[in-house]
């Protein structure tokens, strides 16, 4: 339940936004973020951006997820 | 690679401790992560990691599970819910939303409260009930769904708020002299909402605390911080999840909770009533509160059964100390909520045993 994913904001339309990571886009809500700009990163949880993240922290987490995915795919082969 | 070396170094340093220490986590994701990373096996036995009532699905009273089951059998109602609720048993094993679906109930899993709103917009001839479950982290999302339903005049959208507040149950556990908690690993995303300051109350109990994230290095950082604080008798709350958690939390999210919800006494499954621990919609939003349309009947005491989830949730026994664990109760045949929910203590212990 607590798993959050970092996404980069690529579109904003009022309280709706589109976030992206590793080429996958997702519609999210930004009601809990007071000011956000395209290109910034957020931690997303249950469809809502919960908090802004620095680019470095977000990319570190995205890298970590990619490593896990690679490891899982390697195991399956 | 550097992270792994650092984690190993920290574990080595933590294991030099000789005193016995009880550290409790109250977040289902922490419970799962601690089991997944095998920390109980590599940390010294002096450090007793106790899983507390951190799984919101697990601590929902079976009276409410029965209530949701009955609502779902109403042909005018579509139930929308986050994941694990589908299989949680109520007062009897057959009372689950999964079984209700088999009987023809319209039960839909959603990722976001806003998905439930869309279902309401597309099914105006039905009442769409969103089961709002979770601690302070997800409560704002239910508030937004209610707010938007008012803007869109979706009179068929209803919330059943099962949201709970974490502080009162932590206080209840600290006041239980049979448990003896020396430190709390504080839930990272609850802290994102209520802030590091939301856990300052731990000082009143001379209890150490650290807000922690969910990666292996973050959890070990949190445990190390707690142990150092206990050693130094420093009971100020520490934030080890600074990439997401601010001192004052997310004021927007917290104010959404304040605007839409009152706190009321609430029953935590296996623990009984915890004062002012439940978030319920304010009177102004009664039109979207399903409990006013279909009042819940007879809030009665939970039936006695062999299930020991209550003792597990309070950290009094470990899951494997439950008589039913593995032999009778397992993920394919769960007896109680701690085994059903992916974040339940028993499910975590079973999966990584």
- CA–chain centroid gap for B226, Å, is 22
Q: Which two tokens stand for residue A35?
A: 């000011």
* Cβ contact A2–B187 (<8 Å): yes
What is the radius of gyration, based on Cα positions, of chain A? 13
**Which residues of chain B are within 8 Å of residue A33 when distances are taken between CB atoms?**
252
* Cβ contact B192–A43 (<8 Å): yes
Nearest CA in chain A to B212: A2
User: What whole-number distance in Å separates Cα of residue B157 and Cα of residue B138?
Assistant: 18
- What ipTM does the predicted assembly reach? 0.88
Nearest CA in chain A to B84: A1
User: What whole-number distance in Å separates Cα of residue B181 and Cα of residue B205?
Assistant: 10
pTM of the model: 0.92
User: For residues A62 and B31, which has the higher predicted lDDT (pLDDT)?
Assistant: B31
- pLDDT mean across residues, chain B: 92
User: What whole-number distance in Å separates Cα of residue B238 and Cα of residue B227?
Assistant: 12
Q: Which two tokens stand for residue B54?
A: 């951190």
Indicate the burial class of B70 (C-beta count within 10 angstroms; 0-12, 13-18, 19 or more): middle
* Cβ contact B134–A47 (<8 Å): no
What is the structure's pLDDT at B1?
47
Q: Which of B2, B3, B4, B114 should be substituted to probe chain A, the one whose Cβ sees the most A Cβ atoms within 10 Å?
A: B114
User: What whole-number distance in Å separates Cα of residue B48 and Cα of residue B64?
Assistant: 33
* Cβ contact A47–B214 (<8 Å): no
Count of beta carbons in the 10 Å neighbourhood of residue B102: 9
Handedness of CA B6, B8, B10, B16 (dihedral sign): negative
* Average pLDDT score over residue span B172-191: 94
User: What whole-number distance in Å separates Cα of residue A5 and Cα of residue A21?
Assistant: 9
Point out the least confidently predicted range of A11-20, A67-76, B45-54, B185-194: A67-76
**Which residues of chain B are within 8 Å of residue A32 when distances are taken between CB atoms?**
140, 250, 252-253, 256
B210 pLDDT higher than 50: yes
User: What whole-number distance in Å separates Cα of residue B296 and Cα of residue B148?
Assistant: 26
* Cα of B308 to nearest chain A Cα, Å: 23
Convert the pLDDT of each residue in B156-177 to its tens digit. 999 999 999 999 999 999 999 8
* Cα of B255 to nearest chain A Cα, Å: 10
- Core vs surface per residue B308-328: b (16+ CB within 10 A) or e: bbbbbbbbebbbeebebbeee
**Which residues of chain A are within 8 Å of residue B134 when distances are taken between CB atoms?**
1, 46
Q: What is the DSSP letter of A34?
A: S
* Average pLDDT score over residue span B236-253: 96
| Full 3-state SS string of chain B | CHHHHHHHHHHHHHCCCCCCEEEEECCHHHHHHHHHCCHHHHCCCCEEEEECCCCCCCCECHHHHHHHHHHHCCCCEEEEECHHHHHCCCCCCCCCHHHHHHCCCEEEECCCHHHHHHHHHHCCCCEEEEEECCCCCCHHHHHHHHHHHHHCCCCCEEEEECCECHHHHHHHHHCCCCCCCCEEEEEHHHHHHHCHHHHHHHHHHCCEEEEECCCHHHHHHHHHHHHHHHHCCCCCCEECCCCCCCCCCCHHHHHHHHHHEEEEEEEECCCEEEEEEEEEECHHHHHHEHHHHCCCCCCCCCCCCCCCHHHHHCCCCCHHHCCCECCCEECCECCCHHHHCCCCHHHHHHHCC
User: For residues B331 and A67, which has the higher predicted lDDT (pLDDT)?
Assistant: B331
Handedness of CA B52, B53, B56, B57 (dihedral sign): positive
Q: Which two tokens stand for residue B184?
A: 């709390």
Q: Dump strand ranges (E) for chain A.
A: 5-13, 16-21, 24-29, 41-45, 48-53
* Residue count of chain A: 77
Give, in degrees to the nearest 5, the angle at Cα B145 between B117 and A11: 85
User: What whole-number distance in Å separates Cα of residue B146 and Cα of residue B257?
Assistant: 11
What is the structure's pLDDT at B237?
97
Residues in Cβ contact with B83 at an 8 Å cutoff, skipping those fewer than 6 apart: A1, B109, B342
Give, in degrees to the nearest 5, the angle at Cα A55 between A54 and A61: 95
The contact set of A with B (CB < 8 A) is 1-4, 29, 31-34, 43, 45-48, 50-51, 53-54, 57, 64
Give, in degrees to the nearest 5, the angle at Cα B247 between B231 and B7: 50
What is the structure's pLDDT at A71?
66
Point out the least confidently predicted range of A31-35, A66-70, B237-241: A66-70
B34 pLDDT higher than 80: yes
* Cβ contact A47–B112 (<8 Å): yes
* Cβ contact B193–A50 (<8 Å): yes
Q: Chain A to chain B, count of Cβ pairs less than 8 Å apart?
A: 82
What is the structure's pLDDT at B229?
95
What is the structure's pLDDT at B327?
87
Q: Which of B137, B185, B348 should be substituted to probe chain A, the one whose Cβ sees the most A Cβ atoms within 10 Å?
A: B137
* Cα of A7 to nearest chain B Cα, Å: 13
* Average pLDDT score over residue span B1-17: 82
Residues in Cβ contact with B273 at an 8 Å cutoff, skipping those fewer than 6 apart: B265, B266, B267
Considering only CB atoms, B250 lies closest to which of A4, A46, A51, namely: A51
**Contact (Cβ atoms closer than 8 angstroms) between residue B251 and residue B194:** no
B305 pLDDT higher than 80: no
Q: What is the DSSP letter of A30?
A: -
Q: In 3-state terms, what secondary structure has residue A58?
A: helix
**Which residues of chain B are within 8 Å of residue A29 when distances are taken between CB atoms?**
112, 114, 141, 144
């Amino acid at each position: 339940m607590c798993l959050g994913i970092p996404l980069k904001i690529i579109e904003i339309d009022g309280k709706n936004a589109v976030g992206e990571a590793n080429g996958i886009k997702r519609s999210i809500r930004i009601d809990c973020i007071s000011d956000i700009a395209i290109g910034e990163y957020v931690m997303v949880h249950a469809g809502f951006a919960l908090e802004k993240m620095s680019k470095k922290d977000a990319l570190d987490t995205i890298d970590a997820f990619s490593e896990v995915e690679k490891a899982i795919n390697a195991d399956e082969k | 690679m550097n992270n792994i070396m650092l984690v190993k170094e920290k574990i080595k340093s933590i294991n030099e401790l000789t005193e016995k220490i009880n550290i409790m986590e109250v977040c289902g994701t922490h419970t799962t992560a601690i089991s997944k990373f095998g920390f109980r096996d590599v940390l010294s036995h002096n450090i007793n990691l106790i899983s507390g009532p951190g799984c919101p699905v697990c601590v929902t009273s079976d009276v409410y599970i029965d209530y949701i089951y009955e609502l779902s059998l109403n042909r005018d109602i579509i139930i929308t819910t986050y994941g694990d609720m589908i299989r949680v048993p109520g007062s009897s094993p057959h009372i689950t939303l999964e079984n209700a679906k088999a009987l023809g109930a319209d039960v839909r899993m959603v990722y976001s409260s806003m998905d439930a709103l869309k279902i309401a917009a597309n099914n105006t001839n039905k009442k769409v009930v969103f089961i709002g479950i979770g601690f302070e982290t997800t409560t704002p999302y239910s508030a937004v769904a209610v707010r938007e339903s008012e803007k869109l005049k979706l009179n068929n959208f209803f919330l059943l708020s099962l949201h709970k507040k974490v502080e009162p149950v932590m206080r209840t556990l600290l006041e239980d002299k049979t448990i003896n908690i020396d430190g709390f690993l504080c839930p990272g995303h609850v802290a994102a909402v209520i802030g590091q300051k939301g856990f300052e109350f731990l000082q009143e109990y001379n209890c150490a605390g650290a807000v922690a994230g969910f990666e292996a290095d973050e959890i070990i950082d949190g445990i190390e911080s707690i142990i150092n604080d206990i050693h130094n008798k420093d009971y100020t709350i520490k934030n080890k999840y600074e990439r997401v958690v601010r001192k004052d939390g997310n004021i927007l999210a917290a104010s959404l909770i304040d605007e839409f919800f009152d706190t009321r006494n609430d029953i935590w499954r296996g623990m009984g009533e915890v004062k002012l621990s439940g978030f319920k919609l304010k009177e102004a939003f009664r039109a979207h509160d399903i409990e006013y349309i279909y009042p819940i009947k007879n809030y009665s005491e939970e039936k006695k059964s062999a299930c020991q989830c209550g003792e597990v949730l309070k950290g009094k026994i470990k899951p494997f100390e439950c008589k039913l664990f593995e032999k009778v109760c397992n993920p394919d045949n769960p007896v109680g909520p701690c085994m059903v929910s992916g974040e339940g203590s028993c499910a975590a212990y079973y999966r990584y045993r």
